[in-house]
Amino acid sequence: MLNPPMKTIQGIAVAPGIEIASAFVLEQFRQRVPHHIVVPEERAGELERFEQALQAAMDDLAADRDRAARDLSKEAAKIFEFHLGLLQDPTLLDPIRDKIGNAGTNADFAVASSFSRMIDQFNAMGSQVFRDKARDVLDLERRILDHLMGRSQERLSRLEEQVVLIAHELTPTQAASLGISQVVGLATDAGGRTDHTSIMAAALGIPVVVGCHAITEHVNDGDLIILDVRDGQIIIDPDEETLEVFRKAKKRLEQFLTETGQDVGAEAITRDGTKITLLGNIEFPHEVEQLLKYGGEGVGLYRTEFLYLISEDEPTEEELYEQYVQSLELLGGRTLTIRTLDLGADKHTQQQALEPERNPFLGLRSIRYSLQHLPMFRRQLRAILRAAAVGPLRIMFPLITTMTELKQARMILSDVADDLRQEGVDVPSDIPIGMMIEVPSAALMASTFSREVDFFSIGTNDLIQYTVAVDRSNERVANLYSASNPAVIRLVKNVIRAGKRRGVDTSLCGEIAGDITYTMLLIGLGLRSLSLVPAQIPRVKQVIRRVTLEECERLARKVGAFESHRRILRVLREETRRVLPEADGGWNAD
């Protein structure tokens, strides 16, 4: 029997690397169930497997019914009674048993195909009542398949081999909880390079490709996968010749990463003596240990939303304070830059809103959200200011678009500090206050803002999105989202110049800070501080140590005259390969 030809699926590269491993498909929405024929002598056992899964699903439903009757109402319990009735309906069950016992269809596929037919029939009737019934049937299908195939998280915990995780999408919380040693890569249908889930996944230090559209429809559990982040592609069932090519590329990259990992103690200084400060972007205090392991010199961006996203209840002041103090203590005297809450555009906040916004990225988010939720904002500021007594700390306000927003935020911060001092709390008077430059209006007005802050941090993830009018989580227009866009480069350059003129420290904390394709350009534009995912620090440091300031400035002038983002990107890649040829596979594709 001939092997099926290999397939290639294009996605969006997020975290660098090359990985070769079996696929593990995380079941979400409608599962893709493999089909095979069971030999006659094994059909009775397959039928028994179905009956056991059916009974287990009914037991689950009965338990849910009793719980609903006890904790909710008799009306709620009737929903589960309806479900139990469906699972005893011969018109549904007899065809499944016939497919297994007579036709030899495997139980998983027999269940999925029979339930799918009923779901399609209900949906075709056009009424909302029948669409609701279709959802009921879908829930029953999942319950039975869970018992037949095993729940994904349970199967993940039992893995004995390394896998590439394949999923439709992951929430930021799910991505953060993927700390499973056997998961060596991730590919998803949905997502963009710089949405929160991708950022969380990249922090795991594994190759990540998102925005693959329909990879879950083309991959089965156990398929051999090549995850090639150089080109943002996934190769399914590669032939031997292709496998050999990628094994060699993977080996070269691993050797390079090993060599860079041994040099983490070296300073990030160009060949002609220019010092570049490399800081870390973190979400959790425990990431500080990884940051120091990779040679980071402090935290340039501490995202503080996670405690709010994992719970229905807001964290208390004490919970926030403990997180910040733990980070400062682990840093051992190095600076911690805390970004105040960037909530509003995330799914969690929108789901909790009485009236979800149609376009939350252009709505009440970040500093706007904080200024309209003052008790929450003041609670966070109190925790930050109290923690400032433990170690060096900087406060950074996100998504500032007007001077009014900045002055309001500073005024509230000052009021909170006064309240704490009246309570006898020692609040340092010299805490540096900064802002993120994430929208074109702020970049264009950087000279004005520089009179009111101690430092800038350029957030290119949002700056690109708002400059080129592309949703950074929308895979359909991902080709237009590019840090090499000439307009983006000019805005970054304008902010750096404005900061220099007034002596305002300027850093860059977007994802391109960790992409070695852009390292020479950023230095050439005048940046002397970058904040990035800790695992990316050694690669960026290698580039810095192999170039001169003159080379970087010459490159910045050269691409500054180009009108095409593709031409700019091509030249940047060529220069990166010239400087660091052994890092092939170690940078993100744009």
Whose tokens are 């996934």? That residue is 234
Contact (Cβ atoms closer than 8 angstroms) between residue 350 and residue 357: yes
- Closest-CA residue to 431 (of 389, 397, 378): 389
Cβ-count burial 26-62 (b if 16+ within 10 Å, e if not): bbeebbebeeeebeeeebeebbebbeebbeebbebbe
Q: Which of 168, 509, 552, 565 is catalytic?
A: 509
Alpha-carbon Rg for the chain in angstroms: 27
- Closest-CA residue to 50 (of 86, 82, 91, 98): 98
Contact (Cβ atoms closer than 8 angstroms) between residue 463 and residue 488: yes
- Closest-CA residue to 399 (of 350, 304, 494, 463): 463
Contact (Cβ atoms closer than 8 angstroms) between residue 500 and residue 528: no
Query: Known catalytic residue: 552?
Result: no
Residue 240, number of CB atoms within 10 A of its CB: 7
The residues facing 278 across adjacent strands are 530
Percent of the chain as helix, strand, coil, to the nearest 5? 55, 15, 35
How far is it, in rounded angstroms, from Cα 590 to Cα 582?
Answer: 20
Cβ-count burial 479-513 (b if 16+ within 10 Å, e if not): eebbbbbbebbebbbbbbebbeeeebbbbbbbbbb
| Coil vs helix vs strand at 21 | strand
- Closest-CA residue to 435 (of 390, 464, 402): 402
| Coil vs helix vs strand at 355 | coil
Whose tokens are 């192999």? That residue is 546
Contact (Cβ atoms closer than 8 angstroms) between residue 382 and residue 348: no
- Closest-CA residue to 215 (of 184, 237, 187): 187
How far is it, in rounded angstroms, from Cα 276 to Cα 268?
Answer: 6
The residues facing 20 across adjacent strands are 226
Dihedral class, residue 419 (left if φ above 0, else alpha if ψ from -120 to 50, else beta): alpha
- Closest-CA residue to 388 (of 330, 457, 317, 335): 335
Query: Known catalytic residue: 83?
Result: no
Q: Which of 196, 212, 552, 565 is catalytic?
A: 196
Report the chain's terminal Cα–Cα distance, integer Å: 40
Q: Annotated catalytic sites, by residue?
A: 196, 509
